[in-house]
Chain A
Amino acid sequence: MNDETEVIHTYTKDLLLPIVKRVKSYFEEEMKIDIFNTSEITSPKNIHLKKNTIMIGTSGSIKLIITLGYDDLLLSKLVEVFVNGDEIEDADVDEINNSVACEISNTIIGNAINNPVDKSDIYITPPVMVSEAKTLYKDKHSKFIYVSFVTKYGEIQLTAVGPKEQFEEKLDFKEI
């Protein structure tokens, strides 16, 4: 990330803060994994996505792509919690890893998504795993929002990507 700017209170925060809170409550209450630190919500010029990144789109009056990325060790821990001691056949390991990451992301975003602008429903797409994800570079028509969370097993990375005008006009985005 570079040239980050801090996002001040706007509809953007009203949209993202419930998701940020749900990431924390989901990890701490459901997975029993403490979050030691949460970064500020920033707007970087590029984002280096984690290897295990889940992408979910929103539709309705707010159109965004939301990603949640997990470090390898953290994803292993999440799988361990989800399977709760059950054996996983070798052939199923990759699919289980993907489905755990997808399921957690879908639960967090689905539980927390709301529409601060006009209160109409926002729908989300089924989650998609983007494995070996690389760097996203912003062009002049798009904007990135970024938050990260630190656990003892590694980081969770939350991003929202959308058209610049949507953030600036509809979501009342301001930066300092």
Chain B
Amino acid sequence: MLKVLIVDDSLIMRRNIKKYMSSLGHNIIGEAKNANEALDFCKDNKPDLITMDVAMPGMNGLDVIKKIKDISKYFTIIMVTSYGKNQIVKKALQEGAQGYILKPVTAEKLYESISKIYPEYKNEEESEEE
């Protein structure tokens, strides 16, 4: 079970990601609706995984990655973005994000993204096939 922090300014996205993560067996230890809340949380807590919206008012997700990595380079971050084609994804990965999910977010996309980073969370049938 991963300890997860959800960073998103959208209430419906925080609710839905929380629901999907819980259905995958992970534990939501925090929610942040902006960069400052996320940074404060990461100073005092050690989430295994952070899901981060790219487009937030004020400091955007790319800037937040840098600051979170300044707190600890070991934080694992999955970016959530609606952009499929441009440099944002590339930049996020360069800044230290471990993965990204293209909106719309689903439980399946979260599962796939988490499994790439943490192969031990693949379900049994899939692990056996490999």
Bound state CA distance, A108 and B83, in angstroms?
A: 10
Bound state CA distance, A102 and B14, in angstroms?
A: 14
Q: Which segment, of B4-12, B68-76, B113-121, faces chain A?
A: B4-12
- What is the distance, in angstroms, from B46's C-beta to the closest C-beta of chain A? 28
User: Mostly helix, strand, loop or mixed at chain A's interface?
Assistant: helix
Interface size range on A against B: 20 to 34
What are 28 A-B pairs with beta-carbon distances under 8 A?
A: A30-B104, A82-B12, A82-B16, A86-B19, A95-B11, A96-B11, A96-B15, A99-B11, A99-B13, A102-B10, A103-B13, A103-B103, A107-B104, A108-B82, A109-B82, A110-B84, A111-B102, A111-B103, A113-B83, A114-B85, A121-B86, A121-B87, A124-B82, A125-B55, A126-B9, A126-B55, A126-B56, A126-B57
Residues A103 and B56 in contact in the complex (CB < 8 Å), given A110-B83, A111-B82, A114-B85: no
User: Mostly helix, strand, loop or mixed at chain B's interface?
Assistant: loop
Interface size range on B against A: 20 to 34
Residue A83 at the chain B interface, CB threshold 8 Å: yes
Contact of B55 among A26, A95, A124 (CB under 8 A): A124
